[in-house]
């Protein structure tokens, strides 16, 4: 990726930071942006760059939720040796995050060549944006019914089963255009978990999944071809923008549904399909 300029690296960092945790698909937006910048979206160094700059967004998550992370780690270790500690909800929440992180790691590693190759197509992005928008809409609608009848559950009631189900659904986010946060938050809503807790759980699940993906690409890709300076810029910009994005999203979901994101995704998909059909952009 020697032809990646520093202004382009800044743009990609901003896109990553803005979209990583919003339910609009960061990979989908990065793929579109990379194509507009004239990059080959299914090239190995481009897909690696996309994964590696996600480390900036993950660093922002760790900093933002540092006290929560420490709390969960301490609760987990205490629970391993203390029966009384195992009754605390933080112990169950920690296990929910651990168990929920396993499926996407296994599926992502097994299908890594497919994800970095055939799935890196703007047609895939457009289709996934549309199809998962339906899931998000249905999740919000069902959650409203759950809220009206049974009432929603908070962080203290999150179970290991919740983590497993949400983790399995997170595997769909390996398809560009689905959105990892869109998948996990939707799954949480379908489980009857309140929107803020589902969003926080989505952040927690992002840490192991995206860290593993970024470090794997960094370890297995010739970083000399990426443009180390450009990569560093992308990571730093992604960190700064993602930190603000996290704070904004948590405030937003406290009193709003995900439906505005659904309409945005649908509109973007329609525009993207139109552009592809016109021949103004090629899919890869």
- φ/ψ (deg, to 5) at 153: -105, 145
Q: Which residues contact 50 (CB under 8 A, 6 or more apart)?
A: 12, 16, 27, 30, 31, 34
DSSP reduced 3-state for 193:
strand
> Would you kindly state where each structural domain of the chain is located, as residue ranges?
6-278
* pLDDT tens per residue, range 218-273: 787 776 666 788 989 999 999 999 999 999 999 999 999 999 999 999 999 999 99
Please give the Cα distance from 201 to 100 (Å, whole number).
Answer: 10
Task: List, in order, residues 6 or more apart from 32 with CB less than 8 Å away.
Answer: 122, 125, 272
pLDDT tens-place string over residues 181-217: 999 999 999 999 999 999 999 999 999 888 888 888 7
State the angle between helix axes of 122-149 and 259-278 in degrees (0 to 180), rounded to the nearest 10: 160
Tell me the whole-structure pTM to 2 decimals: 0.92
Taking every pair of Cα atoms in the chain, the longest distance, rounded to a whole number of angstroms, is: 64
R_g of the chain computed on alpha carbons:
19
């Amino acid at each position: 990726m020697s032809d990646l300029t520093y202004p382009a690296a800044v743009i990609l960092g901003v896109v990553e930071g803005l979209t990583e945790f919003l339910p609009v698909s960061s990979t989908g937006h990065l793929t579109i942006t990379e194509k507009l910048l004239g990059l080959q979206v299914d090239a190995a160094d481009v897909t690696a760059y996309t994964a590696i700059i996600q480390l900036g967004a993950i660093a922002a998550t760790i900093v933002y939720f540092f006290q929560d992370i420490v709390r969960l780690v301490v609760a987990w270790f205490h629970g391993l040796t203390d029966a009384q500690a195992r009754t605390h909800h933080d112990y169950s929440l920690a296990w929910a995050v651990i168990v929920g992180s396993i499926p996407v790691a296994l599926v992502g590693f097994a299908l890594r060549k497919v994800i970095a190759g055939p799935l890196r197509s703007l047609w895939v992005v457009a289709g996934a944006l549309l199809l998962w928008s339906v899931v998000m809409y249905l999740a919000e609608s069902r959650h409203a019914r759950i809220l009206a009848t049974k009432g929603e559950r908070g962080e203290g009631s999150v179970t290991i089963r919740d983590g497993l189900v949400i983790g399995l659904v997170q595997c769909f986010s390996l398809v560009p255009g689905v959105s990892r946060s869109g998948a996990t938050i939707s799954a949480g809503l379908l489980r009857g978990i309140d929107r803020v807790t589902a969003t926080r759980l989505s952040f927690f699940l992002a840490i192991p999944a995206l860290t593993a993906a970024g470090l794997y690409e960094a370890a297995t890709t010739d970083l000399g071809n990426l443009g180390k300076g450009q990569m560093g810029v992308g990571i730093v910009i992604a960190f700064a923008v993602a930190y603000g994005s996290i704070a904004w999203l948590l405030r937003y979901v406290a009193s709003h549904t995900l439906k505005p994101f659904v309409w945005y995704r649908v509109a973007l998909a329609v525009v993207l399909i139109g552009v592809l059909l016109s021949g103004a952009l090629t899919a890869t």
